[in-house]
Structure 1
Amino acid sequence: MGGADALGKAGGMRKRIAFLGTEVRTHSHSQHFLDRLALGYSWRGGWQEPRTDIASVYIDQFPENGDLGRDRVKRYGLKLYPSLEEALTLGTGKLAVDGVVIIAEHGKYPRNEKGQTLYPRYEWFKECVKVFEKSGRGVPVFNDKHLSTTWARCKEMVDDAKRLKFPFFAGSSLPVTRRMPSIDMPHNVPLKESVCVAYGGVDSYDIHALETAQCMSERRHGGEVGIRQVHAMRGQNVWKRLAEDRHADTRRLVVSALTRSHNLPVEGGYYTGKITFDWARKTLPNPVAYFIDHNDGFRTTMMLTSIRDFNYAGLRADNGEIVSTQMYLPMPTHGSSTADFFHPLCRH
């Protein structure tokens, strides 16, 4: 297989990408990405034209109500292919694009016993690998959000990318969106613990909460060294655990993160009470929480609640300072008409 020097076709030519989406409807991830990659997006006070061309589109599902896939293909003059393989080969039988974008989020797919939606991220990635192997070269692949639903599949995907020597990217918009305040965790500082208080559903939004925490906490001294264990809980069991003596620092971080939120419960235009741990326990009675113990003794607590933003707080071990911020998501129907936090995620 060719390495980095064999990834593109020609030095100064515009790169061509294959766009693979599960469905395109209003506010689906495929809609967010496809519009920006085809039309462009606002960037630093100007309009950023696309710097790549969409050579092919594959869409898996066309919902009866609200489908935008065919509309977007026609609007932007794109080529819709009936299969993933043809989208990568442009019907030639060999790889004919310079990159692949996999947006396997939204659409009607089965769930497993854990409640995870079985989006075809792994299956589509493996189809790409087949084309790469047949063609004797690979190209960069971007996968929206987490890789798959099991550790074995995720590891296999990463191992394939290493084996065939093609760049493999994945992730969420949270690490690259704007922050309020605009801060970063100082690099190489000793951190003791972190908290992310966020919202959304299990399997769909917990990845965003995890990346909110990790993009800050991985800057700690020594970097990320792996996870020892994860304990997930729901409802009042979360608050009971947090009330234990060993979680005194965690309680401080929860309160600090909540003070960064712009979506706390209100009455008559203002908070229903002072933002304290007891207030949070009463006001947000049904959270989902993940208590994550890292191999270096660091601890991360992620909470999904009924608020509508993503807030981080980290405790420095050297001076006791709490570093906190909100990862700002101008969400459509909640203070914005477009999901502009996808702009930096599409920056290329």
Structure 2
Amino acid sequence: MLSRRAWLNSAVAAAVWSGLPKTSAIAAEPPKPKLVAAVITAYETGLHADVLLGKIMEGWKQDGGKGPALRLASMYVDQFSPRDLARPMSKKHNVPIFDSIESAITVGGKSIPVDGVISIGEHGDYPWNEKEQHLYPRRRFFDGIADTFQKYGRVVPVFNDKHPGPVWADAKWMYERAREMKIPFMAGSSLAVTFRDPEISIPVGGEIESAVGIGYSGLDIYGFHALEAYQCLVERRRGAESGVKWVQYREGDAVWKALDDGIVSKDAFEAALKLTTSDPGKVRQCEKPSLFLFEYLDGLIGSIFMLPGVAGATAVGIKLKGQPQILATRFEERKEPHYPHFAYLLKGIERMVHTGKVSYPVERSLLTAGILDRALTSRVQNQEKLLTPELAIGYRPVDYPHAPYPDLESDPTMPL
């Protein structure tokens, strides 16, 4: 199994950058910025719009330094709060705000001059449903984007922040419409590309005997983060990904019963847990423990323990066949400078806009969204185990790097 350093040195991430022109990594001149339009729910300091779009306008560290080879051409903003940052940023950087999605994508004209669209349906004042899913308008945003493509006869790459949906029917609809229209479509959490501590290596094609994830905070908002962090590791197992057979939500004593009965590996659980709390011995004092339990079609049991008040981070523990030691890592959410893990998410978006090809499969986010939706459905159906033929979602993972590689500061041409 290659160390991370050996992997990087072996091919300068050749597999990752294989879709690029051969000269891009050694080009004498930085690539010319591509134009992007943004469709967002709300824009305030610290919100996802700020830590993504702010990096386009003001550099990777949002300090006026160099940033991605992207230029923000326009914005559509769904809601303006008293703390709105969209209008002052619009004025500061001469980025127009339009009152419709179509106008933002056409930049007020009669064609599509932008090279990509960033859709950020996160934050803002939106309703919740009975499953406690926050009903952000991600489908409405994507519908408006796709309708504009259809009207003007041009398709460009689209990034959807976090999970499509969040309701499963909407997530599936977004995915199918993107496929039908051949839209390069990417989605997902910043945690899949964030800093990992310690650095671990899960070989593609390795045999995973057990894997346990730990999450915290709200089931919908942070359940997706925990699931996608988990999925970006387990998708590398032998046979690639083929989907999920059933999903069940558990809470209270039923959470610990899964451990005590051996359904979930105690060793993998404990290895992940100690990366999220300074006092793992008090885990069973968690007031509202929850468990997303599911089985992949290849037989691997998936498990995400949501432990608010006990866990303070997202972590995963994995047991590889033939290796006595559990591999475990924590997915870090750093705040300074200006949430740098979002810079690595933006790097993946930048690459997609320049190449016209997704940086990693959207099916990962689709499957993750489906597991989360089915778990929240099981929750309101008396923790019933739900068969999930709709989640037979197959894909092959790619070796896309995560922080701190590529180095955002050292070489402006390499990250593309």
Q: How does the TM-score come out when normalised to structure 2?
A: 0.72
Give the conservation status (yes or no) of the 8 Å contact 2:75–2:96.
yes
> 1:101 and 1:148 mapped to 2: Cα distance?
16
Quick check: 1:311 aligned with 2:315?
yes
Quick check: 1:257 aligned with 2:272?
yes
Quick check: 1:281 aligned with 2:281?
no
Q: Which amino acid aligns with 2:334?
A: P
Please give the secondary structure, in 2, of the residue aligned with 1:210.
Answer: helix
Judged with a 3 Å threshold, the aligned counterparts in structure 2 of structure 1 residues 57 and 15 are, in CA distance, closer, same or farther, namely same
Q: Which amino acid aligns with 1:300?
A: G
> 1:219 and 1:41 mapped to 2: Cα distance?
29
- CA shift digits 1:120-139 (9 cap, x unpaired): 11111011111111111200
Q: 1:33 Cα deviation (Å)? A: 1.0
- 2:164 aligned partner: 147
Give the conservation status (yes or no) of the 8 Å contact 1:177–1:344.
yes
> 1:241 and 1:183 mapped to 2: Cα distance?
26
Give the conservation status (yes or no) of the 8 Å contact 2:58–2:65.
no
Q: How does the TM-score come out when normalised to structure 1?
A: 0.86
Quick one: which of 77, 90, 96 aligns to 1:59? Answer: 77
Quick one: which of 29, 48, 57 aligns to 1:38? Answer: 57
- 1:345 aligned partner: 345
Q: 1:32 Cα deviation (Å)? A: 1.1
Give the conservation status (yes or no) of the 8 Å contact 2:210–2:318.
yes
> 2:193 and 2:103 mapped to 1: Cα distance?
32
> 1:74 and 1:184 mapped to 2: Cα distance?
45
Judged with a 3 Å threshold, the aligned counterparts in structure 2 of structure 1 residues 48 and 185 are, in CA distance, closer, same or farther, namely farther
Q: Which amino acid aligns with 2:283?
A: A
- The size of the alignment, in residue pairs, is 316
Please give the secondary structure, in 1, of the residue aligned with 2:343.
Answer: helix
> 1:20 and 1:124 mapped to 2: Cα distance?
7
Q: Which amino acid aligns with 1:342?
A: F
Please give the secondary structure, in 2, of the residue aligned with 1:35.
Answer: helix
- 1:329 aligned partner: 333
Higher RCO, 1 vs 2 (CA within 8 Å, ≥6 residues apart): 2
Q: Which moved more, 1:14-23 or 1:47-56?
A: 47-56
> 2:39 and 2:48 mapped to 1: Cα distance?
11
Q: 1:314 Cα deviation (Å)? A: 0.9
- 2:220 aligned partner: 203
Quick check: 1:111 aligned with 2:113?
no
Please give the secondary structure, in 1, of the residue aligned with 2:103.
Answer: helix
Task: Output aligned runs, 1:183-222, within 5 Å.
Answer: 183-222=200-239
In terms of fraction of residues, the more strand-rich structure is 1
Give the conservation status (yes or no) of the 8 Å contact 2:209–2:320.
yes
Give the conservation status (yes or no) of the 8 Å contact 2:39–2:119.
yes
> 2:324 and 2:110 mapped to 1: Cα distance?
60
Give the conservation status (yes or no) of the 8 Å contact 1:236–1:285.
no
- CA shift digits 1:182-240 (9 cap, x unpaired): 22312211002211112120111111001111111111111111001111122332123
Q: 1:337 Cα deviation (Å)? A: 6.0
Structure 1 residue ranges without an equivalent (≥5): 5-11, 265-270
Quick check: 1:50 aligned with 2:53?
no
- 1:294 aligned partner: 296
User: Please, what is the CA RMSD of the aligned residues?
Assistant: 2.0
> 2:44 and 2:252 mapped to 1: Cα distance?
33
Structure 2 residue ranges without an equivalent (≥5): 1-18, 20-30, 351-416
Q: Which amino acid aligns with 2:345?
A: L
- CA shift digits 1:231-262 (9 cap, x unpaired): 11223321233222x33x5222111001222x
> 2:173 and 2:229 mapped to 1: Cα distance?
25
> 2:172 and 2:289 mapped to 1: Cα distance?
30
Please give the secondary structure, in 2, of the residue aligned with 1:205.
Answer: helix
Q: Which amino acid aligns with 1:281?
A: R
- 1:176 aligned partner: 193
Give the conservation status (yes or no) of the 8 Å contact 1:21–1:60.
yes
> 2:251 and 2:230 mapped to 1: Cα distance?
19
- 2:254 aligned partner: 237
Q: 1:145 Cα deviation (Å)? A: 0.3
Please give the secondary structure, in 2, of the residue aligned with 1:26.
Answer: coil
